[in-house]
Amino acid sequence: MEISAMICKVKNLRTLLTTEQIYTVPVELYQELTCLRALDLGGSDIDKLPNEVGRLLHLRYLNLWGTNLSELPETICNLYNLQTLELSQCKKIQKLPSGIGKLTNLRHLSIGGTDALGYLPQGIGSLRFLRTLSKFIVRGSSMGCNLGELKLLTFLQGNLKIEGLERVVEMNEAAEAELRKKNRLRGLTLNFGDLERADVEKMKGVLKNLHPHENLEELEIMGYPGLQFPSWITSGSNLVSLKLHRCGTFTELPAAMGKMECLEKLEIVRMGSVRHIGREFYGVGIGGSSSFVAFPKLKSLLFRDMVEWDDWDLPISKDINVMPQLLELRLEDCSKLRKLPALGRLQSLELLTINTLNAVKRIGSEFCGVDSIDSSSSGGEVITAAFPKLKKLFFSNMKEWEEWELPISTTSMGDTPPAIMPCLCELELSFCPVLRALPGLGKLKSLESLTIVHTMVGEFLGISDDGDVHNGCFSTEEEGAISSGGGESTQEDVITFRNILGNPLRSIGCLCLSKLDTEVKRMGGLLACFGNSETTGGGSAQVQQEKEVIFPSLKNLEITVLPMWRGSNLPSQKDSVVIMPLLRQLTIRLCDKLQVIPHYMFSQSLKQLEIMDCPELGRAQPCLPPLLESLDFAGNVGFLSNSLPVCDVECSHNNNNSYPYLKTVYIFASPHSSLPKGFNKLKGIQRLILHRCDTLDFELKELNHLTMLQHLEINDCPILKERFGEGRDWSILSHVPKITIDYEEITKSN
């Protein structure tokens, strides 16, 4: 799009903002609109600014953000009234006008994200009123400027990034910048570039002389080649955020960092020579005080890409409190760290991410900060809870992790064991390829979301029950198959099941089910139609309240790529166990050996069900739950591809519709040529999506029962496209407002 030449006739125009993609700007604009105060060409595709821009003498604001400019004309230096020059994200710009020092009224020069910009011209120091300078580049060429040009920029505020520090000629040049006098700066990034080319002693002096004002809140140091940091970083500073990146020569982290009283965020990345983090890092023993708080305000801590780090000490005791306000801890790509410390002692931790710790083989009770379920910590302090406020826990890419133990167990009468993760809501395990068993996760009473991706776990959730322990029912056709084809429970099955639910089963503890009352009442007579009178009626309420509940709060369960998960029999616990009573969303993907979906996963409260590529699923499946709202089958899902496990009982008060809440059905890449058996019993569907079903073929009359259908969508189904394509008779579905074939809506005209 080109700016219309008609605009040039508005001689007194003060502000011109472009809101659409602009490719060219007529030269007349710069010649005629000489009264412009603000010109915004940000985000446009212009690649050249003509010399005529120098005629806009009244211009105060010029925005060229994200354009394709490679340089600016020298005439831009005639704009002596210019106060803001916005060049952020101009990826192609290579240089600034050599006379930029003439813009003496310039307040804001934004050049962040200008990766091709190799240097700043001499004369930057003349911009004495400059408030914003995103980036300062040290001597990219003979025409570049040195650190001394920062001396007179006393009004600088916000964030400043200094690049090319490895090119500083003399260490005293850094002192000439007088950063300590710039009390309005809030953030400072110091980039030392290439470690291999740097003079270590000179760079040590440069960093020492770049001592900022005490008001600085955020500091990032990148590529520093020295062996130690100057004392101004940890002593007497008011830093709120500190990031140390690529400081590869350090063998240990700066001592007494734990004494930084204002620090809230700490990132330590690619410190490739650090092997040990111990008491000195926290400042323990420095100063002689017996009682000590390390990192008193720290809220976020990240360790990433620490390739030699193999030992970590967390010296929490009765007299030493470490990171009492820490909310978020991330450990990523620390390939030699063999053992995790007592992270469960971090009293405020809410989010813990552990990613690519390839040397960790076992995570035990010491991870929680207890050696056994009823132990006390060193120094006589009694542990009442491990991870007391943890809400989210993520493990991923743990290639050698084989064993996980959580001290979720019971003690003798009268003892009170520590609570383990009492607030945990979300747990994710992904790409832990040798992890074969999990601890008693069923006793995590606050757990609402559980995701398991690509592990070798075979029996912790994939244990099919025997018809006594379930929350659903069987379809009439499958009931005989289940009773005759279940097989015998092995001792290994029973032990593994008890591990996940808490060992032993009888000691899980009764839980009041009052929060299920609302859901039970809403089900009403519908559940009675499914033969589940046990959860309804006044006479059974007492029985239900006495049952033990496993995964009492779980609402979302996702299981993907469990190659060892088959499904096997549970011991019968009908009178004492309820499993996943609040489950709302169930996703099962790519479980090649799964034969039977455990009945407790088809909770009466389940609303969303997705199953993808589980080809071994057989006939013996539990009935689809009555409150289901969304059903998604993708690929080969075994017997379910051919026959839906629907209940044969219809409910008269719901117009003989067994599934009145099921509104959306999505079938993707079905291997069969017909709709699954039982589909005709799903009468409440409002949206039906068929996608990439190459062999699927049926008559429109097979959809007659869908009287509530609002949208039929058929995409990439070649046989159906031929059968129902352009010119076909759709009168049978005349009540359907929207019909789409291959992403094009079918109308009366076509």
Question: What pLDDT score does 676 carry?
Answer: 92
Supply 742's token pair: 């291959």
Compute the mean pLDDT over every residue in the chain, rounded to the nearest whole number.
82
Question: What pLDDT score does 394 carry?
Answer: 98
pLDDT band for 711, please (50, 70, 90 cuts). very high
Supply 725's token pair: 């394509």
Query: What's the alpha-carbon Rg for the chain, to the nearest Å?
Result: 34
State mean pLDDT over 643-661.
69
Query: Distance (Å, rounded) from C-alpha 739 to C-alpha 482?
Result: 40
* Residue 639 exposure: Cα atoms within 13 Å on the Cβ side: 16
Percent of the chain with pLDDT over 70: 80
Query: Distance (Å, rounded) from C-alpha 1 to C-alpha 5?
Result: 12
Q: Give residue 739's identity as a one-letter amino acid code.
A: I
Name the least confident of 135-149, 317-331, 334-348, 412-426: 412-426
Expressed in percent and rounded to 5, the helix, strand and coil fractions of the chain are 20, 20, 60
Question: What pLDDT score does 424 carry?
Answer: 97
Query: Distance (Å, rounded) from C-alpha 324 to C-alpha 291?
Result: 14
Contact 117, 92 (CB under 8 A): no
Quick one: which H or E segment has residue 579?
A: strand 577-579
State mean pLDDT over 214-220.
95
Model confidence, pTM: 0.84
Query: Distance (Å, rounded) from C-alpha 93 to C-alpha 90?
Result: 6
Question: By C-alpha distance, which of 713, 714, 709 is closest to 734?
Answer: 709
Contact 733, 708 (CB under 8 A): no
Burial of 727 (0-12, 13-18, 19+ CB in 10 A): exposed
Question: What pLDDT score does 525 carry?
Answer: 39
Query: Distance (Å, rounded) from C-alpha 493 to C-alpha 457?
Result: 13
Question: What pLDDT score does 449 carry?
Answer: 97
What is the DSSP code string of 339-404?
Answer: ----GGG-TT--EEEEE--TT--EE-HHHHT-SSTT---GGGPPP-EESTT--EEEEE--TT--EE
pLDDT tens for each residue of 276-309:
998 888 888 665 566 789 999 999 999 999 999 9
Question: By C-alpha distance, which of 127, 121, 175 is closest to 147?
Answer: 175
Q: Does residue 151 register a pLDDT over 60?
A: yes
Evaluated on CA atoms 125, 127, 130, 132, the torsion sign reads negative
Supply 91's token pair: 């990826």
Name the least confident of 85-94, 642-651, 660-669: 642-651
Name the least confident of 24-33, 160-169, 593-602, 652-661: 652-661
pLDDT tens for each residue of 660-692:
899 999 999 999 999 999 998 899 999 999 999
Length of the chain measured in residues:
750
Plot region of 669 (φ>0 → left; ψ -120 to 50 → alpha; else → beta)? left
Question: What pLDDT score does 750 carry?
Answer: 56
What is the DSSP code string of 464-513?
Answer: ---SSS-SS-B-HHHHHHHHHH--PPPHHHHHHHHHHH-SSGGGS-B---
CATH architecture of 549-567+578-647+656-745: Alpha-Beta Horseshoe (3.80)
Higher pLDDT, 532 or 310: 310
State mean pLDDT over 118-131.
92
Query: Distance (Å, rounded) from C-alpha 647 to C-alpha 629?
Result: 15
Q: Does residue 624 register a pLDDT over 80?
A: yes
DSSP SS3 for 232: helix
Question: What pLDDT score does 377 carry?
Answer: 42
Contact 363, 377 (CB under 8 A): no
Return the bridge partners of 698, or none: none
Please, what's the b/e burial string for 512-522 (b: 16 or more CB within 10 A of its CB; e: otherwise)?
Answer: ebeebeeebee
Supply 232's token pair: 């101004």
Supply 89's token pair: 């994200």
Plot region of 298 (φ>0 → left; ψ -120 to 50 → alpha; else → beta)? beta
Contact 609, 630 (CB under 8 A): yes
Quick one: which H or E segment has residue 713?
A: strand 711-715
pLDDT tens for each residue of 226-256:
888 888 998 777 899 999 999 877 888 887 8
Q: Does residue 649 register a pLDDT over 80?
A: no
Question: By C-alpha distance, which of 316, 358, 323 is closest to 341?
Answer: 316
Q: What angle do CA 643, 645, 646 make, to 5 degrees?
A: 110
Which residues are CB-contacts of 4 (< 8 A; sequence separation ≥ 6)? none
Which residues are CB-contacts of 47 (< 8 A; sequence separation ≥ 6)? 67, 68, 69, 70, 92
State the span(s) of the chain assigned CATH 3.80.10.10. Answer: 549-567+578-647+656-745
Percent of the chain with pLDDT over 90: 53
DSSP SS3 for 166: helix
Higher pLDDT, 483 or 11: 11
Return the bridge partners of 241, or none: 218, 265
Question: What pLDDT score does 329 carry?
Answer: 98
Higher pLDDT, 352 or 545: 352
Q: Give residue 718's identity as a one-letter amino acid code.
A: P
Cis previous bond, 737, omega within 30: no
Q: Does residue 484 register a pLDDT over 90?
A: no
pLDDT tens for each residue of 715-750:
999 999 888 876 677 788 888 999 999 998 887 555
Query: Distance (Å, rounded) from C-alpha 420 to C-alpha 389?
Result: 10
Question: By C-alpha distance, which of 324, 418, 330 is closest to 377?
Answer: 418
Question: What pLDDT score does 463 carry?
Answer: 36
